[in-house]
Amino acid sequence: MKKNIISLATAGLVSLAVAATAFASPATVERSVNFRSAPSTGSKVFQTLKPGISIDVQQQVNAYWLKVSVNGKVGYLSPSYITYDKPSTNQPPVDQQPSSAIVASSVNFRSAPSTSSTVYGSLKPGTPVNVLEEVNAYWLKVEVNGKTGYLSPKYITYSGVQQPAPEPTPTPAPAPSAVAARVIQHAKNLQGVTHYAYGVNQAPSLMDCSAMIQYVFGKEDIKLKWGTRYLKDAGTYVPRDELQPGDLVLLRVGSSSSIGHVGIYMGNGQMIHNSPSADGIQIISIASGYWSTRYVTARRVI
């Protein structure tokens, strides 16, 4: 699949215009992710997006946040949980003249440069089109039988223009997310440093389970309250079968039915926590053994 816009910079051929610096790239949620009001883990969570949901990426804010549109609502999320094509930074010079092209494979002909816009129809291979304008790296403004609309440049071939070789498919974003990986590493770094004391928050040497959570997430500017009574409502609910690294795992202790302990899910059924029995940081399984039967709920705060 071609990731860059087709260059028209060959002798005797004109080039297309780049009309905007912002882009709208279609994307798909690969793993559940919080859809937030601002590019910060301390911002309001609009909702948790489930795998398979289609979104439009509007802007890459920085290495950790994307500005996206979901069913017309604009918000922010981490790029580690979605699949999308990044815009090309190597775009051709412009002259904004129409160019003839032919549909190479079936493509939706839309009313606007967005995957949520109205589909006029599906153009079949061989359909001639006039390219009027390059809106951005993902959309062309075209004319088909006198009707103006928009389509993706991936599905057309310019008449008489030699196509560049496609770029290799980008490697999917690593899991866990960068922030979650750092939080987990912060917790690991406390092994041999932190001792357990119930109801104590003297970081990093002497803490209880929830104080450790507050401390390691705080290193990533994720503000959490001290105490499981607060952490049980932090972020958004996560089903047990959708746990991801960095999620908070809340558990009951002994014969009690109330939440009294918390750790951080690491993946592969493992959790890192500040353990009373180990008097410090310990990695254990929540898929089997004592803690597997004490599981109550989980929350996503990243």
Cβ(134)–Cβ(145) under 8 Å? Answer: no
Task: Name the active-site residue from 36, 273, 294, 299.
Answer: 273
Is 273 annotated in the active site? yes
Is the torsion defined by CA of 161, 149, 90, 13 positive or negative?
positive
Concerning whether 212 is annotated as a catalytic residue, the answer is no
C-alpha 83/C-alpha 168 separation (Å) is: 15
Instruction: For the beta carbon of residue 77, count every other beta carbon within 10 angstroms.
Output: 24
Element housing 131 (H / E): strand 128-134
- Which entry of 36, 141, 186, 261 is annotated as an active-site residue? 261
Tokens representing 281? 């940081």
Q: Which two tokens stand for residue 27?
A: 């994307």
Residue 181, helix vs strand vs coil: helix
For residue 186, indicate whether it is catalytic: no
* 275: Cβ contacts below 8 Å, ≥ 6 apart: 196, 209, 281, 282, 284
Following CA atoms 70, 61, 300, 192 in sequence, which dihedral angle do they give, to the nearest 10 degrees? 170
- Catalytic residue ranges: 209, 261, 273
